[in-house]
Structure 1
Amino acid sequence: MRRLLGILLILLFIYPSSFVSSESSKTTSIQLVFAGDILLDGYVGDQVSKYGANYPFVKVAPILKKADMAFANLETPVSVRGKAADKMFAFRSKPATLKGLVYAGIDGVTLANNHILDYGQGAMLDTLVHLNNYKIGYTGAGKNIEAAFKPYTQTIKGKKIAVIGVSRVLSDPSWYAGKKSPGAASAYTLEPMLGEIKKSSKTNDVTVVYIHWNEEFKDYPAKYARTMAKQMIDSGADIIIGSHSHCLMGIEYYKKKPIYYSLGNFVFNRSTRGGDKTLDSMMVDFEMHNNSITSKITPVKIIRGQPNLMGKSYNKQIITKMNKLSFNAIIDSNGKVTEKK
C-alpha cells in the first residue's frame, strides 16, 4: 500500500496538470440565462425616474449576475434625438437607463425588433454608441447589413458562444439593414439569415438565435415560425429564443435542440390589449456541461414594471401553463425542461 501511495505521489508531482484537468473537466459547466423584452420608457421610465436605474432589475439581478452570460431583448432605442415614427407605440429611452442593465449583469442584448427604429436611423445608431459606452454587447442592428447580422460572441471557459439577433416583425421595409444603409437584421427572407447561422456554427461552439416573431398576445406560434425554427436548426442553430408576443409561448424540441417560442415581457408596461398574461414571464437557464445542454425555467411576475421572483403557488401556475402550451417538452415541478419521450 505504501509503495502504491508513493508511486501516486511521484506521478502527481511529475504530471500535476493531468490530474487537475481531468478533475476540472468533470466539474466545469457554463451557465447562460436568457430573458424577454426590456422596455425602459413609458411607465417603466417613470419608475426609473422615481427610484433609479437599478429599480427594474433589483429582484432578479442576483440570478442574472451569477450567470456566465445573461442576455435579453432591448425593445427600445436609447437616444435623446430623433422624430417619433407614425405608429401606435413609439419608444425611446434615456441613455442613463442602461446603468440598470450593467447593475443587473446583463452582458448583451438583441436590437432586432419592431421598436429599434421608432425614432429613426440616427437614434438607432445612438443606441449602439451608448451600449458601447456602457460595455453592453449587442446584435441584430447596425450601420449596414453585415454589421446587423454580426453575432454577439463571448468565450466562456474555453467555449465560444454566439448569439444572432434577427426580426420577422419590422414596421417597414426601410427598417431592414441594407448593404449601405443602417437598420435591423431582417428574418423576412431566409437569406442571409440561414447563411449567417451556418457561418456561426462553423466558428463557434454554440450558436443561439434570438428572434422577434409571431403575433402579439397569441398563446401559440404561427405556422411559419415552427417551420422557420426547424430551418434555423438545420442550418446549425443550437438554441432558439423568441420574443414579440408579450406573453409566454411553449417549448418545442427538434433534433434534440430547444425552441423557446416566446419568453414574454421581462421589464415592461402592462398591456391593456393583452391583459394580465403580459405580466407573466420567465428566465431560461441553460447549463452547458461538456457537449450537453440542459435548461430550466425560472418563473417571474412583472409588478409595477419590475420582474419579481414569486412563491410556490405562482411557480406551479406558470409551469402548468407552460406544459399546456408546449409541444414535445415537459417541465417538472422544479422548472427543469426535457424532451418528451
Structure 2
Amino acid sequence: MRITGVGDVVMGAAPQLPPDGGRDLFTGVGDRLSGDVVLANLDQALTDVTTSTKCGPDSSGCYAFRAPPSYAERLAEAGFTVVNLANNHTRDFGVAGLQDTREALTAAGVDHTGMPGQITYQRVDDLRVATIGFSPYGWTQSLLDIPAAEDLVREAAAHADVVLVTIHAGGEGSDFQHTRPGVETFLGENRGDPIAFSHAVIDAGADLVLGAGPHVLRGMEWYQGRLIAYSLGNFTGYRALSNDGPKGVGALVTVELTADGSWLGGELVPIRMADPGLPELDPEREAVEQVATLSHEDFGGCGVDVSDDGALTPPTC
C-alpha cells in the first residue's frame, strides 16, 4: 500500500482567494499527490459563514482562515483522499463552519478525521486502513490524553490492517524546527509532547505517524520499526501562510507498507511554497538537507537516513 502525506494546507483566506476558484492551487506539484491514501492537514474552514467566532472584527494578530465549500472539490481533484481536521483553524468560524467543512468534504468524496472518537476507515483492495487525527484542542481527538489515544489506536488496530496516525502538535515557526523531549508550549497553549505521544500510539498499534502544525519541517525518527515524521511543514498557504525562511520549505512524503504495516520503502519529495503560497517542486532540494540534518541532530542513531535523491532508509537502532 502507498501512503502520501503533506503538511499544512490553507487554500486561501476569504476575501483573499486564488483566481478561477482555486483550480490551479496544486498544479505546481504535478502528479505527485498519488497513492492509496493521500493525506493533508486542512488548516482552515470551508464555509460561507462570514463571522469568525475566534477573531473579533477589530482584532489584530488573530488569524481566521476560510474558503468557500466548493474548495473541497479542489482537494479531490488534486488527489487527496483524506484530510485531518484536528487543528486550531477548522473551527475558526464556529461549530457551523466546522459542520459545513465536514459536509463539503463528504460531498466532494474526501474523507476527514480528527473529531473526538473518530476512526476513519478506507478500503484498499483487500486491506482496511484506519486513519486517526489528533491535536491539543478539546473539540478534537486530543493528543493531550495519551491513554485515551492509545485506546483509540488499539480499537483501530483491531479492525484494520494498517493504522495511520496524523498529528497537529508542537510550537510554531522557525524557532521550533527541533523536536525535543517533553511538553511544548506556544502562545500559552499546551501543544502536547510529540515524542511521548508518537511513541505511545506506535506501541498501541499505529504503523505510521505523520505530523503538521509547526509550519516548518522537523526531523524523522525510526521507532519500533515504524516511521514518525514530526512535521512536514507548509504545503499550501495562499496569501495566508508565511513562506519566509524555513516556513517556505516543505516536504511531500510517500511511504510504501506491506499488508501488516511493515516498511517497504519511502521517499521525501522536496517542496517549496512559492509566492503567493503555492506548492512547487524545489530544484534546490532544500528539504532533503533540512530533514537529514534535523533527524540526526534530534534522534541520533534513530534518525531516519535521507539520501540525496530523497530515499528514506531506516537506521539500525
3-state SS, counterpart of residue 56 of structure 1:
coil
Structure 2 CA distance for aligned equivalents of residues 125 and 270 of structure 1: 24
Matched, 1:323 2:297: no
> Could you say if the C-alpha distance between residues 186 and 309 of structure 1 is closer, same or farther in structure 2, counting changes exceeding 3 Å?
same
The CA deviation at 1:222 is 3.9
Q: Which residue of 2 aligns with 1:225?
A: 194
Write out per-residue CA displacement over residues 276-326 of structure 1, whole angstroms, 9 at most, x where no aligned residue: 211101111011245432221111111122110132xx12x3212111100
Structure 2 CA distance for aligned equivalents of residues 96 and 274 of structure 1: 25
The CA deviation at 1:247 is 0.5
Matched, 1:125 2:99: yes
Q: 1:238 aligns with which of 207, 210, 216?
A: 207
Structure 2 CA distance for aligned equivalents of residues 271 and 340 of structure 1: 37
Q: Which residue of 2 aligns with 1:144?
A: none
Unaligned runs of 5+ residues in structure 1 are 1-29, 142-147, 171-175, 177-182
Q: Which residue of 2 aligns with 1:276?
A: 245
Report the number of matched residues.
288
For the 8 Å contact 2:13–2:65, the answer to whether it is kept is yes
> Could you say if the C-alpha distance between residues 132 and 80 of structure 1 is closer, same or farther in structure 2, counting changes exceeding 3 Å?
same
Structure 2 CA distance for aligned equivalents of residues 264 and 101 of structure 1: 18
Letter in 1 for 2:235: F
Q: How does 1:27-176 map to 2 (within 5 A)?
A: 30-42=1-13, 46-48=16-18, 50-64=19-33, 66-81=34-49, 83-84=51-52, 85-86=54-55, 88-141=62-115, 148-168=116-136, 170=137, 176=138
For the 8 Å contact 2:273–2:279, the answer to whether it is kept is yes
Structure 1 CA distance for aligned equivalents of residues 100 and 21 of structure 2: 22
Normalising by structure 2, report the TM-score.
0.85
Q: Which residue of 2 aligns with 1:19?
A: none
> Could you say if the C-alpha distance between residues 51 and 303 of structure 1 is closer, same or farther in structure 2, counting changes exceeding 3 Å?
farther
Q: Which residue of 2 aligns with 1:254?
A: 223
Q: Which residue of 2 aligns with 1:213?
A: 169
When Rg is computed on C-alpha atoms for both structures, the one with the higher figure is 1
> Could you say if the C-alpha distance between residues 164 and 290 of structure 1 is closer, same or farther in structure 2, counting changes exceeding 3 Å?
closer
3-state SS, counterpart of residue 72 of structure 2:
helix
3-state SS, counterpart of residue 46 of structure 1:
coil
Letter in 1 for 2:45: P
The CA deviation at 1:269 is 4.7
Matched, 1:265 2:234: yes
The CA deviation at 1:122 is 1.2
Letter in 2 for 1:120: G
Unaligned runs of 5+ residues in structure 2 are 56-60, 182-192
For the 8 Å contact 1:54–1:104, the answer to whether it is kept is no
Q: 1:303 aligns with which of 257, 274, 288?
A: 274
Q: Where in structure 1 do 4 or more consecutive aligned residues deviate above 6 Å?
A: 270-274
> Could you say if the C-alpha distance between residues 205 and 216 of structure 1 is closer, same or farther in structure 2, counting changes exceeding 3 Å?
same
Write out per-residue CA displacement over residues 196-221 of structure 1, whole angstroms, 9 at most, x where no aligned residue: 00111111111111010010011112
Structure 1 CA distance for aligned equivalents of residues 259 and 149 of structure 2: 28
For the 8 Å contact 1:300–1:309, the answer to whether it is kept is yes
3-state SS, counterpart of residue 149 of structure 1:
coil
For the 8 Å contact 1:208–1:240, the answer to whether it is kept is yes
Write out per-residue CA displacement over residues 244-280 of structure 1, whole angstroms, 9 at most, x where no aligned residue: 1000000001111111000011111578877321110
Structure 2 CA distance for aligned equivalents of residues 72 and 290 of structure 1: 22
Between the aligned residues of both structures, percent identity stands at 25
3-state SS, counterpart of residue 66 of structure 2:
coil
3-state SS, counterpart of residue 152 of structure 2:
helix
Structure 2 CA distance for aligned equivalents of residues 134 and 192 of structure 1: 31
For the 8 Å contact 2:292–2:306, the answer to whether it is kept is yes
For the 8 Å contact 1:238–1:258, the answer to whether it is kept is yes
> Could you say if the C-alpha distance between residues 47 and 273 of structure 1 is closer, same or farther in structure 2, counting changes exceeding 3 Å?
closer
For the 8 Å contact 2:242–2:248, the answer to whether it is kept is no
